[in-house]
Structure 1
């Protein structure tokens, strides 16, 4: 049985039904000529979401992405160091002494998966540092994702690939030159390394890497142009800055720039396990976003309260018709 057929047969109620409703509305948006913007928090790259997301990008099911700095870099870490990763299925049983042993081996743990510092982080640092220094010396400035696109498209890493490159979502995005926004990039391993190289004097101009406010300005212009031509949906995986940052572009355009003719987001779905009653914005039901001028009363809205590592690949598979 195909994945889509399996989902349609078994997923009939509760969060399972919401998954189908959201996926079918995504398909309808695209069939009607619309586009989809995807946001990604959490550790989805280390969860190897590229196994399904890369194909979504190649088949034009996703037209722009906002992600954390961690997701930006961790897809490339996995691309070049997958064989050195270690899975720790009993991670809940680890003692502080066990964790210390992982540290001493330079194995940085993300839940049940350890990322090898030397084979992943330092290898990418050495490659991207050359681009930082070259841009710095030339007086050029680029966004974090643009530096990653450069090193991937240069082919310098090809000999280091340890997974099938078709499963790297960032490589697929680079090949498409997909619009990308990475707010809060400073809160990432490479962001920390970049700060260190500025302190050490390897890079002279801290603004060689463009971040933050410039990303919002870029997003504002891209959103304005895109929605003047076609409806644009918003699919949010997890919460945090990856989702909060881009969805705010609409009220900013309306309230701060007085661009009243700019459309609202045409679709909204969030996969979340956050709890609304804690005052969590990430757990807020979609209707709350109406009061902030982000969504409209008639906007198709969905929330799938579940584990994104389970749900997102299923939604993608449905949209792809697998």
Structure 2
């Protein structure tokens, strides 16, 4: 089979360009084309649960509304992400923002009360608002749990205990921002799992709150809920944006049922060091985290460039 040379013109839509990638069939273009086709198939199958794994600064990097849209359209059944993305979603929910074009003199940024994530910038003033607002949410949720325990004659809990998933759900119900990932997920009953929640500004505020308040976050309880989802699923497809803990949590949870049936990975990480973040998806077959015969596509590139293109083209495919 020959490599088809790509044809480009000024009248092409995103789907047309992706189709040209698919027609070429090789290298990065071919992988992008195959990932688009696979994503369209995943979100079109009623019997497939779609797990979205999100690592790296994707909310600061501009993908917040993309993720919210996927949830609203019913294209995600489970979201697994980092504490940092939870933090930055809440930062915007409380009126803060992410900024650009401030330059790279980090010492001057520090003096000006700003932090840097690549070429994305944050303001300490926004984080101060975040810290004040999130504590009020923690307090409301803690009091609600305590009230339920008090009114339940069967409850023997001396502590106000809640799983990470349920905690994030309750926070989502309190948010007013219609574009918030947490809010949209809560409204659409899409569970959010954040196994590394404590490793974030959110986690720091949570730790400080628990020093003086009777609140216990039960991370192990999340595995009960996640394993139920895996066992109750006819098939699982994973969309893995970045690597890290969210990627491993996503794949490892599916080991319980022999692995995912399909997966797309977009990453800039390398495989030579043996890191999970850079590991090709095929490696997951050796661990039964991906089924033998599963449909797997790994794309090497910047998630903030590639995924919006893939998702836009997939929407076009499923809406034809």
TM tier relative to shorter chain:
0.7 to 0.9
Q: Please say which of residues 262-271 and 143-152 is displaced more in the overlay.
A: 143-152
2:282 is equivalent to residue 271 of structure 1: no
Q: Is the 8 A contact 1:39 1:236 kept in 2?
A: yes
Which residue does the alignment assign to 2:190? 178
1:79 Cα deviation after fit: 2.8
Matches within 5 A, 1:22-41: 22-33=35-46, 34-41=48-55
Partner of 2:124: 117
Give 1:16 shift. Answer: 2.4
* Contact persistence 1:56–1:320 (CA under 8 A): no
Question: Are positions 1:241 and 2:236 aligned together?
Answer: no
Asked if the contact 1:128–1:148 (Cα under 8 Å) also holds between the matched residues in 2, the reply is no
Deviation at 1:168?
3.1
Gapped runs of 5+ residues in structure 2?
Answer: 1-11, 150-159
For the pair 1:210 / 2:218, whether they are aligned, the reply is yes
Which has a greater percent of strand? 2
2:154 is matched with: none
With 127-136 and 66-75 compared, the bigger mean Cα shift is at 127-136
Q: Does 2:129 align with 1:98?
A: no
Structure 1 unaligned runs (5+)? 254-261
Counterpart in the other structure of 2:311 = 316
TM-score, length-normalised on structure 1?
Answer: 0.81
| Distance apart, 1:5 and its partner CA | 2.4
CA distance in 2, matches of 1:31, 1:149: 26
- State the 1:274 CA deviation: 0.8
Structure number with greater Rg is 2
Tell me the equivalent position of 1:283. 278
Shift of 1:89: 5.4
Which stretch shows the higher mean deviation, 118-127 or 67-76? Answer: 118-127
The residue number in structure 1 matching 2:19 is 8
Q: CA deviation at 1:142?
A: 2.7
- SS class of match (1:190): helix
Q: Measure the CA separation in 2 of the matches of 1:145 and 1:112.
A: 31
Written as runs of structure 1 = structure 2, the 5 A alignment for 1:42-81 is 42-81=56-95
Say which of 63, 69, 86 aligns to 2:99: 86
RMSD in angstroms over aligned alpha carbons?
2.3
Contact kept? 2:60, 2:98, Cα under 8 Å: no
Shift of the 194–268 alpha-carbon distance from structure 1 to 2, 3 Å rule, reads same
